[in-house]
Chain A
Amino acid sequence: MLIRDELKAAIEAVLFARGEKVSLEELSQIVGFTPRDIKTIMEEIQGDYNQKKHGIQVIEDNNTYVMCTKPEYHKVLWGRVKIYHQRLTAPALETLAIIAYQQPVSRGEIESIRGVRCDKTIHTLLEKRLIQEAENKTKPFGAACYSTTEEFLRVFGLASLNDLPELEEG
């Protein structure tokens, strides 16, 4: 069915050009099919990329889709690609890790885990757009909470938050 192949190609073009997560709703608006149809098509596209030898994959995260390289080709790319030259310091990484796993999380909670004040590191992370202020769902009028951003996933090469390893217990 040619129309189906063309639809796939169109979605591929959108995902390539955007280079960021595109939601199911948006894709359905762009190509003019129902989100349900798109979802089936997306599964097929993902299958295509996984079956054949491709350096690129399409990943799904909470009904959004993005194109990125496969982790298998990490070695080919690393060192040849300019990525993120500003390295974060260890305290900044500790703060970022707590936010990544606990989000949304308040400054007080972060400080209680780290045992030190974190205002400066939080400020740095906000400035670098790795974290953002998030809605505090548990306490509607509570302290400001933080969550990680898309930029965080991009910088650390994670397809989604699910790519973070399980926290070691014991």
Chain B
Amino acid sequence: MGYMVAIEHFHGPLDLLLYLIEKNEVDIYHIPVALVADQYIQYLHEQRSADLENISDFLIMASYLLYLKAKALLPSGQIHDPGLEEDPEDPQKELGRKLHQYQKYKKAAQFLMFCQNGNVSRCFFKEKQGLGMKTERVIKGQRSALIGAYQYILNRKKAITFFRNRGRHDFNLKKQQEELLKHLKNNPQGIVFQSHIQKHCPVPEVSSYFLALLELVRLKKVKVYQDRLFGDIKIVLAGDGALC
């Protein structure tokens, strides 16, 4: 078929069909179905890579063209079945009508394209000022909301830099468990978890201390008490204070 225009350039099966009709210089209402159907399908074959979503509309048209081609090949009269209702309209005529309609709007779209590209003399309108009675486009602003939004961003930024500056930390759970036990042995009346943690202790370190404590509870080395939510966590020795 020589030079082929990529299928992506056609905006649908009717567009491709119109191109083939123009190329073959035939009338819309008297399409040589066999020839055009073959060329059409040839096109689809060459475009195997085209994505399925776009190609599905083209395939529907392909099957329709094949139907028309098959119908044209069969001797007329034999296909007529009195039990089946005949199409009130010649399908090829119907296709011609569709192509014709599409062609009309394609031209209309071209006019809009000319307007868009400045090839048609046009009017220019002033930007709307929002002075109308309708206020659908006017945005109501609140100063407090603006300040709130800004504060939120600042806080978020602070939080992000806080975590960025943390970097990597290595903690040894075993060591921390031993440290806790040692501390408990020196204070037989028990200790408060919160006071064991130094102020400004980085969050990852606090978490690892807490994990160490949980591990000690699991091993039944200590007992913990907390009388209210977020209250002091009191730790008391449960065993001899040896880790293993």
Which one of A3-11, A33-41, A77-85 contacts B? A77-85
Instruction: Given the known inter-chain contacts A91-B11, A93-B113, A114-B102, please indicate yes or no for A100 contacting B125, CB distance below 8 A.
Output: no
Instruction: Among A94, A100, A155, point to the contact of B11 (Cβ < 8 A).
Output: A94
B182 interfacial by beta-carbon distance below 8 Å = no
Contact, CB under 8 Å: B116 / A87: yes
Contact, CB under 8 Å: A18 / B129: yes
Least CB distance, A154 to chain B, in whole angstroms = 5
B122, closest chain A residue (CB)? A157
Residues of chain B within 8 A (CB-CB) of A93 are 109-110, 112-113, 116
Contact, CB under 8 Å: B126 / A97: no
B57 interfacial by beta-carbon distance below 8 Å = yes
Residues of chain A within 8 A (CB-CB) of B21 are none
Which one of A42-50, A62-70, A133-141 contacts B? A62-70
Least CB distance, A132 to chain B, in whole angstroms = 12
Q: A93 vs B57: C-alpha distance in the bound complex, in angstroms? A: 19
Contact, CB under 8 Å: A167 / B123: no
Contact, CB under 8 Å: B13 / A68: no
Contact, CB under 8 Å: B12 / A69: no
Q: A75 vs B120: C-alpha distance in the bound complex, in angstroms? A: 10
Instruction: Among B15, B105, B128, B129, point to the contact of A101 (Cβ < 8 A).
Output: B105
Q: A97 vs B101: C-alpha distance in the bound complex, in angstroms? A: 12
> Could you tell me how many residues of chain A have their Cβ less than 8 Å away from some Cβ of chain B?
52
Instruction: Given the known inter-chain contacts A71-B121, A115-B12, please indicate yes or no for A19 contacting B129, CB distance below 8 A.
Output: yes
Least CB distance, B127 to chain A, in whole angstroms = 6
> Could you tell me how many residues of chain B have their Cβ less than 8 Å away from some Cβ of chain A?
37
Contact, CB under 8 Å: A78 / B14: no
Instruction: Given the known inter-chain contacts A71-B121, A78-B118, A79-B118, please indicate yes or no for A156 contacting B11, CB distance below 8 A.
Output: no
B124 interfacial by beta-carbon distance below 8 Å = yes
Contact, CB under 8 Å: B57 / A18: no
A145 interfacial by beta-carbon distance below 8 Å = no
Q: A70 vs B124: C-alpha distance in the bound complex, in angstroms? A: 8
Contact, CB under 8 Å: B128 / A20: yes
Residues of chain A within 8 A (CB-CB) of B109 are 90, 93-94, 96-97
A142 interfacial by beta-carbon distance below 8 Å = no
Which parts of A111-163 form the interface with B (CB within 8 Å)? 112-117, 154-159
Q: A67 vs B131: C-alpha distance in the bound complex, in angstroms? A: 15
Q: CB within 8 Å of B: which residues of A?
A: 16-20, 22, 26, 57, 59, 66-72, 74-75, 77-79, 81, 83-84, 87-88, 90-91, 93-94, 96-98, 100-101, 112-117, 154-159, 164-165, 167-169
Q: CB within 8 Å of A: which residues of B?
A: 11-15, 57, 61, 98, 101-102, 104-113, 115-118, 120-129, 131-133
